[in-house]
Chains A and B, each alone.
Chain A
Amino acid sequence: MSVTRREFLRYSGLAGVSLSLGHLSVTDVSRASAQGGSGLAPPPVAEFTSWKDLYRERLTWDRVVKGTHQVNCWYQRGCTFNVFVKDGMVMREEQASTYPQTNSSVPDFNPRGCQKGCSYSDRMYDGSRLRHPLKRVGERGEGKWKRVSWEEAMDDIADHVIDTLRKDGPRSVYWDMGGGMTNGAAMVGLVRTIRLLDMTVLDIDSEVGDHHPGAAVTCGKITFSSSADDLFYSDLILIWGGNPAYTQIPNAHFINEARYKGAQVVAITPDLNASGIHADLWAPVNVGSDAALGLAMCHVIVNEGLHDTDFVREQTDLPFLVDPETQRFLRGSDFEAGGADDAFYFFDLESQEIREVSRTTLELGDHRPALEGRYEVETLGGRRTVTPVFELLRAHLANYAPEAAAEITGTPVKLIRSLARKIAKARSATILTQSNFSKFYHGLEMERVQFLVMALCGQFGKKGSGVNGFPMIAIDGNFPVGVAPPPMPDLGPFIVKLWKGMGPKEDETEEMFYLRSMRELHESGNFISSALLFHVHGGLAPLTGASRRWDPELPRDTEEYLAEAFDKGWQLRPPVPKIFFSSGGNILRRVRGYDRLHEGFLPKLDLMVTVDWHMSQTALHSDYVLPAAGWYERDDIVWATPLAPFTQATTKAVEPYAGSKTDWEIHYRLMESIQKRAVARKQVDFFDHAGDIRSLENVFDDFSYRGFVSADDPEPLLKASLYITSNLGGVTWEELKEKGYARHTGLGRSPMNITNATDIEEHETITANTWHTDKKIVWPTLTRRMQFFIDQEFYLELGEQLPIHKDNPAIGGDYPLQMTGGHTRWSIHGSWRDHKLMLDLQRGEPVMYMARGDAAARGVEDGERVRVGNDLGDFEVIVKISAAVHPGQVIVYHAWEPYQFPGKKSHQVTTGTPFNPIQMAGGYYHLQQFMTVGQPGMNDRGTRVEVTKLGAPRAG
């Protein structure tokens, strides 16, 4: 407080009082002075002509801008809203609903946006919004804070960062971007920070359980999907491994409309869930037995000769020759020393000889690969008998006759047969799956089987067919902006230079080139699996490493598999964490077994910084909490998925709340402080991971493109990103802001997009993977085919070279109930989970769905609070009883905050989440860890628990 200010405030009876305003300013002089204001009426407290005007008044506003919500709703994402602003506040929002109809034979995309988005403006003024940076006083988690200025906070954080860069190395600084990733300013901020300082970004995909391991090992990629309106061309839609009524709210109408148009909709789930109620057929399946179900279908398909032999011959590895004794593919290296390890063979029925399969095209020409037979061949190791994979598959499928499978799945035999035949005979069948199976211990196999069923029936590439992976599409101009060196205006030449000399090698497809670029980038180690981080350095090993405890069939301990994977470079070893930035994530809620992180992870950190808009569980335990600007308080570009292929803009409707800042500005200020402090301390050098010296002297100048972009105006970044984007039809930032969205016109130059492997036409729905099925371009796998036989050593050791069913281990102990979950309609992860409007439409607190018989047997009534537990822990929850729940199943939908449970123990204290070592496999071309794939995942589905009445002794 300056001297003049103090004088200003001083009151003495003699001198007059001065007018001193800080939060208000005079803008309408005619109303401001006494003389001008004579005759001013008193303020209109309640002056209306009639009660009707009160209601009409709700429809007035000052301006409307486009906005959306930067949450990770993934499959259902993409919703442009009109945001109505009045008196400097956001009054409400409403879906803009101007999306196009792709063509006249499919329904249009309107409206997009759910109940959560329609209430964001209620959340943004929540009393819990953080106003200013806070610094911890007292112990971590104690809840004692004091406010600091942004500069103080950033300077102190910068000092810590500099210390860690110089002492422990830059990789010890971790960033968890959680769901906060955008495709615009926030992303550029993060990318530049990471790259300039060579730090670590957490790859959370497998920790969350979205890594689609089965898709990855079968197709060599996971990010592919058709558009939601492509469903309209299906005549058979199988909802299997997902709950679109809950988690694809704006897409679900396409399913219901397709049903009207004549598609048969089949839901395959343990419980009759919200997606099943509008199906034509619901097939119950025991928790975790879906692989058995699928294999039984394959059994029927193959035995009745219903498989699409043309498709199988052309697109899959099923004709490839294998030695049944060694269980290995016949390879070039079998014929000559130093021969190609990735040359494979088939028996050509036309020329009656063994030939090498083409590595460059799926086109068979005059060849006709055999699916059956035994063939003699001379190898280096002598004379061997080889046979197509298909023969091994047929023998393998003998174990899955519907009668035997029905014992495992609980699905009626007739229904299994009927489903199998339906899929085979369908003109165009789709499996609509989401990320549910990725969260099972044997999820890799469950997903492989889904692909096998559909591949046997040729259900890929046709309009309205396929199995969707993890959908994503984005503008391709954002990443180059993120990595461009200053000065920004030289983007053109930079882009040319970036892509020059880069391109597919000989016999490598475009897709494989991008995937290779990603793998090579990944090898530099900036992306680290969060599941592995928490296993190695977070104290979770007693859970994630306890696989053999629950799965006694496992030949070796998890740690052995992991050590092998680390040594062979199949998985990257997580560096020791020293600083953790949580920016859009919430690990102390999200991570299964989160309670162990308190003792096992936090104490290792010199510094923990959270950027958030409210005091999340993770923020509560941080050293600094930095308030983030809300979604209507910033300009940014948000990525999309092919399901709704529209990239969106969110625009600044109002100023950031109190002292909050956008993510872009937060990165900006941090880098500014780092440079300033490094220079002041005369400690500008540090060694990067490769041992090269880097300097901090100009790191901020580089970050800000030498002043081309300022802290509070990231528009140059957004303009530049769109300027060089090749796959959004040349739309500019001005146009995107105005309309709120633009439809993608192609896949562009991006590893995440390219794997959709299809062309995008303006008036066509998007059908994934047509490059393979129509253009005969090879799949990005070792065999260059959809690969169902995997002879990697872990697979052989575990007997999983062919897709197989394995019982879900009794994770948690020998208890009779299997706890499943899913994403709820009521939140996007933690966002909205504790929002009053949402809670009022539920029961106000966490609930668990339970089957009638199971509840009755335990004397439990609807609404009763019970204890749910196993060998790992227990929690308390309210029960809802429903006949829709499968006997033996209990359901707790995800993302309840721990503090919503008594004792602050969420259901995630019981989830054992052991790693499945098969997911660590690498060194096998497409079986190799890189961003989002190839890493062991955390899983919780089918955890075993028992339910007891409160007050009753705990069972077991």
Chain B
Amino acid sequence: MTATERQLAMVMDLNKCIGCQTCTIACKRLWTQDEGMESMWWNTVNTQPGRGTPRDWEELGGGFRDGAANPGRIPTRKEFGQAGDYNHQEVLFEGKGNGAHLQVKGDRPDWGPNWDEDQGDGEFPNSYYFYLPRICNHCTHPACLEACPRKAIEKSSANGIVTVNEDRCRGYRFCMEACPYKKIYFNEARRVAQKCIFCFPRIEQGIANACARQCPGRVRFVGYRDDQDAPIYKLVDKWKVALPLHPEYGTQPNVFYVPPIGPMRFDENWDLDPTKPRIPNEYLESLFGPEVHGALAVLRAEMEKTRSGGESELIDLLIAYKWSEMFGGFDRDPATFGQK
């Protein structure tokens, strides 16, 4: 376990994520358009239930089990979803007429960072899906850090951000085996591992992460876990409605989720069935652990309060009337910093 003085964290409210992928693009445009990063998407948003990105990542192992390292493997390029190189010129200019249409050159990909968008699971009329944004969890007990023989992965004691020291990294990729969330990527051109940096250059300047600040859904809270005046602490520790993803992986992630409540389902007679939620509790438990039931109960109770015209601190937090208050003090305007 790595001791830190303070730990930055994020909470994502899955009742507000509309799957627009603005966070994905924000991160991509800012950080991962350099050489060797073409297929990297440090931030992903996947439709759940779904196989996720990389494909079937939840079955690839890593993390810890019973306190010891759990074996895992590195996702293949195809599982990550190689970025396509399209054949625009062939289609539109090489006079092949209608014989060629726009598609990916070479092998058609069979996976991508958002392949199963809006498909979900269940049976009509009780199908269900929601969106799950993911970044590196900047874990308190990072499996990647422990796995690296060169100690090329560092966890800041000032704020808990976990980074790959790209100068020390020699590209062994044990970290990629070890991370159970499969949020570490490999830069084939530079032969180093790379991953979400929690926008540390922005954080250093008091500016919230791009994925959080650019999210039009107002899904993400940012802040120090111990800041009792800020939303993170209240959602995670006080109200306990924000939960880690796959807590059983043992890495103590610092990204938390408010679980989704979908529309009411129908019974066999096409009557509304308030007894069972549309998104099966078992499914949410498989993602967030048994604590999810308590979290949902609290959330429903508070929503019931406001439905009846009452007040709720929790609901006010989740509504976030003033957007800048979602960022735990990291509310500086990025336009005010950086002029050469």
Contacts and interface: CB of A to CB of B under 8 A. Distances in A.
A, B from the same assembly: yes
A463 interface: no
Contacts of B93: 143
A884 B324 CA distance: 35
Nearest to B121: A883
B98 A904 contact: yes
B299 to A, nearest CB: 9
B216 A842 contact: no
A839 B338 contact: no
A115 B119 contact: no
B31 A55 contact: yes
A62 B165 CA distance: 28
A856 to B, nearest CB: 12
Contacts of B260: 277-278
A256 B120 contact: no
Interface residues of A, number: 102
A91 to B, nearest CB: 9
Given A114-B216, A281-B263, A884-B120, A841 B201 contact: no
B29 interface: yes
- Tell which of A51, A880, A902 has the most Cβ of chain B within 10 Å: A51
A903 B101 contact: yes
Contacts of B19: 245, 274, 825
Interface in A260-289: 260-262, 264, 267, 272-274, 276-282, 284
B255 interface: no
Interface stretch (A360-368, A528-536, A671-679, A845-853): A845-853
Nearest to A105: B321
A118 B26 contact: yes
Contacts of A884: 118-120, 124, 127, 129
Contacts of B271: 412, 414
B290 interface: no
Contact of B337 (A59, A412, A900, A901): A59
A95 B23 CA distance: 12
A200 B52 CA distance: 52
B22 A883 contact: no
A128 B86 CA distance: 13
A469 interface: no
- Tell which of A86, A107, A844, A900 has the most Cβ of chain B within 10 Å: A844
The interface residues of chain B, by DSSP majority, are classed as loop
A284 B114 CA distance: 26
Nearest to B194: A51
Nearest to B304: A262
Contacts of A758: none
- Tell which of B22, B103, B113, B309 has the most Cβ of chain A within 10 Å: B22
Given A95-B214, A903-B101, A825 B20 contact: yes
Interface in A842-886: 842-845, 849, 851-853, 862-863, 880-886
A62 B335 CA distance: 11
Interface residues of B, number: 93
Given A111-B216, A253-B217, A840-B83, A278 B15 contact: yes
A143 B335 CA distance: 44
B208 to A, nearest CB: 10
Nearest to A57: B201
B122 A261 contact: no
Interface stretch (B65-73, B104-112, B141-149, B229-237): B104-112
Nearest to B271: A414
Interface stretch (A96-104, A572-580, A719-727): A96-104
A798 B129 CA distance: 43
A844 B112 contact: yes
Contact of A257 (B319, B337, B338): B319
Given A250-B216, A279-B263, A840-B112, A115 B25 contact: yes
A112 interface: yes
Interface in A608-631: 615, 620
Interface string B251-292: 000000000101110100011100000000000000000000
A279 B15 CA distance: 9
Contacts of A484: none
Contact of A899 (B15, B29, B101, B215): B101
- Tell which of B20, B92, B197, B264 has the most Cβ of chain A within 10 Å: B20
A82 interface: yes
A277 B129 contact: yes
A114 B20 contact: yes
A119 interface: yes
Closest 8 CB pairs of A and B: A883-B127, A51-B166, A412-B270, A262-B306, A110-B323, A115-B22, A282-B263, A245-B18
Given A262-B303, A825-B19, 13 more contacts: A52-B201, A59-B205, A114-B216, A119-B29, A253-B217, A257-B16, A257-B318, A277-B129, A837-B28, A841-B25, A844-B112, A883-B123, A900-B101
Interface of A: 50-52, 54-56, 58-64, 82, 84, 86, 92, 94-98, 101, 104, 106-108, 110-115, 118-119, 121-122, 128, 143, 245, 249-250, 252-253, 256-257, 259-262, 264, 267, 272-274, 276-282, 284, 412, 414-415, 418, 615, 620, 825, 834, 836-837, 839-845, 849, 851-853, 862-863, 880-887, 897, 899-905
Interface of B: 15-16, 18-22, 24-26, 28-31, 33, 83-84, 86, 88, 91-93, 95, 98, 101-104, 109-110, 112-125, 127-130, 163, 165-167, 197, 200-202, 204-205, 210, 213-218, 260, 262-264, 266, 270-272, 303, 306-309, 315, 318-324, 333-335, 337-340
13 contacts: A107-B321, A115-B25, A122-B33, A253-B217, A274-B18, A277-B129, A414-B271, A620-B92, A837-B25, A841-B113, A842-B112, A843-B115, A903-B98
